[in-house]
Structure formats: structure tokens, C-alpha cells
Structure 1
Amino acid sequence: MSSSRARLARLLPIVLAFALTAGCGGGGGGGGSDKNPPGGQVLQEAANVLRNTASLSFTLRTSGDPKVNVKSVDAKLLKNGNSQGSVQVTELGLPIQLDFVVLGKAVYFKGLTGGWQKETLAQVAGIYDPSAVLDPDRGLVQLLVTAKDPVTRGKEKVAGQDCYRVHATLAQAALGRLVPGMTSDAPADIWVSTADKHVLKAEVEVASKSGGKPGKVTIAFADFGKPFSIVAPAK
């Protein structure tokens, strides 16, 4: 494997791990006001909807100085584990753009220069199984239902839709399966549509690389159930 190809291969686990981060927080019991449903109820309803979601798209952006290498992600996901998108990461302080396609047990990827390369999923992303993303027993649903102390903190608009904003703590056990390297629980805000119970946004607080003020990872979700066509890239 060439040095360029090896470097791209090293970056794929970062890409795919953060694709999994499409799982915002959610879960258990807890709070709310007289006018809003309890946080646990809101997140449980969102989890129930997600169990039947065949596809979605998401964008991920970071702010501050969170202890992650990813800067941005744009991806489409299918329940069978196939996915397609692009990611920007930093390596040695330099931004690197990478396009990727996951089809079954194969991963295709390329940088800004050169063509598409192919590896088996086990070779470049053995740290997790991407089919877990929309698997109700392993992926986003589990992150929702295992969140701790959810409290509804009012209503806000996201993408023009009325949402409940729920604050919760994401359990390390669930989050760690989706984001390798997480060593502790993480506080998060989750916005769930009042109309169709879709999770539209999540903001996860992440420790700073420098030890200062925590940074954030913000994920926005859309295109629920859209029939994406994900195919192998042309050579």
C-alpha cells in the first residue's frame, strides 16, 4: 500500500466512526414542564420513529477545540449499512478532504488528488460495523434510549420546524460503541420535532484538546426515509 493510500486508509475509521455519530442523544425518564412532555417521553418517541427509519442524511460540524480529528461530515446512510459522503479531517495540523462510499463489506475512498481506492471494510474500519448506524439494536436507537436524566427545556425551531429541546447525558457505553475513544459520559442537547418526532439536531459537548473550554460537535439530520441510491463510484 502506498504512503498516500495508507494515510487515507488510516483516516477511514475516523470518517466512519463519525458517521455513526449521527446518533444524537436520547433516552430514559426525566423532567419537563407543565406545558411540555417529559424528556424521557420525547426521546422514547424519537427512538420509536427511528426504529422504522430506512435512511437519512446528516451534516456534522465542530466548533471550539473539541478533542476530535473530524472538522466536518456530509453523509447519506441506509439502514443496511451502506453510506456515501465526504469528510474533512485534520492530520498534523493540515486539513484533508476525503470522499467515501461504503457498500456491504467494501469501502471506496479518495482524496482531493488521485482516483478511487478500494479496501475491505475490515481493513480500514474494523473498529466498528457501519451496519450498526440504523440498526435498532445497536446504533442510534440505543444511544437515544440509554441517555441519562433527559429533561425537556422548552421549544425551539430547527429548520423551520417546532422542536422540543431535551438536555441529557449520553452514556459512555452506548456512545463509545459509536465513537471509539470516548472514555466518559457526554452532555448533549437534542431537538426533536413536535410533529413527526424526528430527531433534527444534536449538540454534544466534547472535552477540549487544550484542556480549556469544551468544544461542540453539532449534527443536523434530514431526508428521513428518502430512497438514496448508493452505488460503487466509477473508476
Structure 2
Amino acid sequence: MSRRRVLVGALALLLAGCTSSSGALPAGSEVVGKAATAMRSVTSTHFTIKVDGELPNVTVKDAEGDLNAEGQSKGRAKVEQFGQLIEVDYVLVDEDLYFKGPTGGFTKLPAALAGGLYDPTAILNPDKGVAKVLSSARDAKTVGSDDGAHVVEATVPRDVVAGLVPGIDADVKARFSTKDDRLTDAVFELPTGAKVSIALSDFNKSFTATPPA
């Protein structure tokens, strides 16, 4: 009976130790710091962007495509125009934006005028993209963690997040999801209630864009 008590006690201590270890969450600052470092070395990614609500001077409601760190991107977007959503295909290459609406061919527009349409290549820009946003996050707190994936809530200063998402003019609440130290999802909530969601996947796959014929 005495030996049984010893074995039960040892098992209880072992299980308690495992629970404590597995339940410990990494510091939020550590998670976003590692993600910022990892995202600076990403050369390409697939992305989706969704805007829920209104952003001043930004007409894009959602977009999906591929982009690389050289500033090239190709995909499609839904743009609000005269109260209606219009789906367009776009190609961004050599600092020029080509877009095609429901009818007709591609039209060339200087990339400098693409701000209202949103420039997705900002995502991998180390000076204003997700790496900058992650490294500038304040009061980061890990709220979930499982098998290499972490969820962190934080606040991002308006001057930093505006470099990634134009039209934001206030500090925002952010929720970051990472997997193997890379950012997979980011949700920014504005004081007005509007939300911007960005999802990233297919990191470092071979991708280049060329001007449409």
C-alpha cells in the first residue's frame, strides 16, 4: 500500500509538471519580435485583404493575390465605385499598375496613383510593412498558443499602421496570429469599428509578375 501511494504521488507530480509547462504562454513581445525578424526575410507570399467598414480615401473592399519583396504583385480586387462593388484584375510591376475591369483590356496607371486602390506590396516592405508593424507593437500579450502557433493582442501606433493600411489615422487594436514565427493573420480594429484583416500564406514560393500584353 505504501508503494502504491508513492507511485500515485509521483504520477500526480509528473502530471502537474506537464500541465504547468504546456500551459505557459510565451511573452507577447517575444512572439512579435521573432515574427518581425522572420518576416524581414520573406521573399514572396500569397495574401488576402478584407476591409469591414469604411476607410477614408480607400476604395478597396477586399483583394487577393501574390506579391514579392521586389515590389511586384498580381491578383484581383473588389473596388467600390459610385456605391457599387466592381471586381478588377491587376498587375503591379516596374512601378506601374495595370488594371482591368469587367469589360475591356488592361489600363496602365502609374503606381504613385494607386494609393486609393491599395498597394499590397507594402506588406513585405521592411520599412512600413508587417515587419515594421510587428516590431512597433505595444503592450503585446499572448492570448493563445498551440503547437508552434501563437495569438497575440497588442496596440499599434497610427503612424506605423498607416504605412501598411492607408486611411488609418488613429492607434489601433491588433490581433496577430503566427505559425513557426511567421505572421499568418493580422486583424486591425479602428476606433470607428472598422476592421482590416490580412492573411498570408505560401511563403517564399517562386513568383514574378510581368506587364500584361
Provide structure 2 residue ranges, at least 5 long, that are not aligned to the other structure: 1-21
Deviations, residues 128-173 of structure 1 (Å, cap 9, x unaligned)? 98764323233221111111111000126xxxx7521100111101
* Equivalent residues of 1:82, 1:130 under 8 A apart: no
Provide structure 1 residue ranges, at least 5 long, that are not aligned to the other structure: 1-32, 209-213
Residue 156 of structure 2 is aligned to residue 170 of structure 1: yes
- Cα distance, 1:126 vs structure 2: 9.3
* Equivalent residues of 1:150, 1:166 under 8 A apart: yes
Residue 188 of structure 2 is aligned to residue 204 of structure 1: yes
Query: Runs in 1 of length 4+ with deviation above 3 angstroms?
Result: 65-69, 123-133
**TM-score normalised over the length of structure 2:** 0.79
* Alignment correspondent of 1:211: none
Deviations, residues 167-194 of structure 1 (Å, cap 9, x unaligned)? 011110111222232110110111011x
Q: Which has the higher contact order (CA 8 A, sep 6+)?
A: 1
CA distance in 1, matches of 2:119, 2:87: 23
SS in 1 for 2:126: coil
- 1:147 corresponds to which of 108, 115, 137: 137
1:109-148 matched pairs, under 5 angstroms = 109-125=99-115, 132-148=122-138
Identity %: 35
SS in 2 for 1:97: strand
* Alignment correspondent of 1:85: 75
Residue 24 of structure 2 is aligned to residue 35 of structure 1: yes
1:174-193 matched pairs, under 5 angstroms = 174-193=160-179
* Equivalent residues of 2:171, 2:190 under 8 A apart: no
Structure with bigger gyration radius: 2
Deviations, residues 86-112 of structure 1 (Å, cap 9, x unaligned)? 110222321111111111222111111
RMSD: 2.5
SS in 1 for 2:112: helix
**TM-score normalised over the length of structure 1:** 0.72
Deviations, residues 182-225 of structure 1 (Å, cap 9, x unaligned)? 110110111011xx2111111211354xxxxx242222110100
CA distance in 2, matches of 1:207, 1:87: 25
Q: Which structure: greater helix fraction?
A: 2
Residue 203 to residue 132, structure 1, CA distance change in 2 (3 Å): closer
* Equivalent residues of 1:128, 1:177 under 8 A apart: no
* Alignment correspondent of 2:16: none
